[in-house]
């Protein structure tokens, strides 16, 4: 399996737009609200004028001692909803700059939907480190049976709220608040099998029982376990990562070794947010294995 390299750009958004980026920040529109958030990858100059940036309703400012806070120039709701195709996402300004959605992931959601809908069988899918459920909702909307796992109970609740908002709460989705490696080992003992696996591991994380995740130490171990979870006819594995010092080739090499017994192809690349007014913004690296 010789990996190919691709750029996946987010598409089909009407209620999200990257307006500009630069000087360590990004200016985004979520529905009717415009916000400024830090982004260390945006080391170039801003394209739009400062007057344009000053119209943003809210700015997330980092603290010199770590963390940060939102500065609201105008009153905005505690939460609001944006749509991507037939999916709805509830957004909330959190204390760690995130809003509950990564818009660039829509490139993967689109890929997941197309892949699953071409199958003539029900796909049993495992979504690890599943956050607020974008990939879960995409897979469920395409007809997959989904196991959604995240160790943070409040994030799991948020994901279920997104499923309800999207009209998918009656779909076959299992919601699991557990550490990823602990759960995978239990599923292996239960002899449960999956046709597809999605992983978006953080650089560092802590489970609800104080389990510590460090991507440098734990990702390789997790990948070695995955073949024991796969069905006789695996469809795909997606591995995505943010804020790491790896190349997408690193992720591809892990997948190559993990799937060495299976015929398939591997695509490595970056998720990128395009902008109609400024430069595109790179967001994360990914690698995808799919069956031949």
How far is residue 186's CA from residue 214's CA, in Å, rounded to a whole number?
20
Q: What DSSP character marks residue 226?
A: G
Q: How far apart are CA 220 and CA 151, in angstroms?
A: 19
Tally Cβ neighbours within 10 Å of residue 74: 10
Count of CB atoms situated within 10 Å of the CB of 23:
15
Closest CA to 288 of 243, 246, 254: 254
Q: What separation, in Å, do the N-terminal and C-terminal C-alpha atoms of the chain show?
A: 10
Q: Which fold has domain 4-9+103-291?
A: Rossmann fold (3.40.50)
Residue in the block written with tokens 């995978």: 184
Predicted pLDDT of residue 66? 72
Q: What is the mean pLDDT of each run of 10 residues along the chain (292 residues)?
A: 78 92 97 97 96 97 84 96 97 93 97 97 97 97 98 95 97 96 97 98 75 84 97 97 91 95 95 93 96 84
Distance (Å, whole) CA 184 – CA 167: 29
CB 34 within 8 A of CB 55: yes
pLDDT at 94: 92
pLDDT of residue 4: 66
**Considering the domain 16-84, what is its CATH architecture?**
Sandwich (2.60)
Supply 176's token pair: 């699991």
Query: Residue 3: what pLDDT?
Result: 62
Nearest to 35 by CA among 49, 21, 14: 21
Per-domain boundaries in the chain: 4-9+103-291, 16-84
- Token pair belonging to 139: 């897979």
The pair of structure tokens assigned to 12 is: 């089909």
């Amino acid at each position: 399996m010789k990996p190919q390299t691709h750029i996946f750009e987010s598409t089909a958004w009407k209620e999200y737009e990257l307006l500009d980026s630069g000087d360590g920040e990004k200016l985004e529109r979520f529905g009717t609200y415009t916000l400024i958030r830090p982004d260390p990858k945006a080391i170039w100059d801003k394209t739009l004028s400062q007057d344009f940036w000053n119209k943003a309703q809210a700015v997330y400012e980092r603290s010199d001692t770590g963390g940060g806070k939102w500065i609201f120039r105008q009153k905005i709701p505690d939460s609001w909803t944006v749509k991507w195709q037939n999916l709805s996402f509830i957004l909330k300004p959190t204390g760690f700059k995130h809003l509950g959605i990564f818009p660039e992931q829509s490139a993967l959601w689109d890929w997941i939907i197309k892949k699953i809908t071409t199958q003539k069988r029900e796909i049993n899918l495992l979504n690890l480190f599943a956050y607020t459920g974008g990939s879960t909702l995409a897979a469920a909307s395409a007809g997959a049976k989904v196991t959604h796992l995240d160790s943070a109970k409040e994030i799991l609740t948020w994901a279920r709220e997104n499923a309800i908002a999207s009209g998918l709460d009656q779909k076959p989705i299992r919601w699991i608040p557990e550490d990823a490696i602990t759960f995978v080992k239990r599923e292996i003992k239960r002899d449960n099998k999956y046709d597809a696996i999605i992983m978006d591991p953080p650089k560092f994380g802590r489970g609800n029982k104080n389990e510590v995740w460090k991507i440098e130490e734990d990702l390789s171990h997790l990948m070695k376990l995955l073949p024991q979870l796969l069905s006789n006819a695996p469809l795909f594995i997606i591995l995505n990562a943010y804020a790491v010092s790896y190349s997408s080739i690193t992720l591809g090499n892990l997948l190559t070794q993990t799937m060495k017994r299976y015929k398939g192809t591997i695509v490595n690349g970056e998720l990128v947010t395009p902008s109609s007014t400024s430069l595109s913004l790179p967001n994360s690296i990914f690698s995808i294995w799919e069956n031949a």
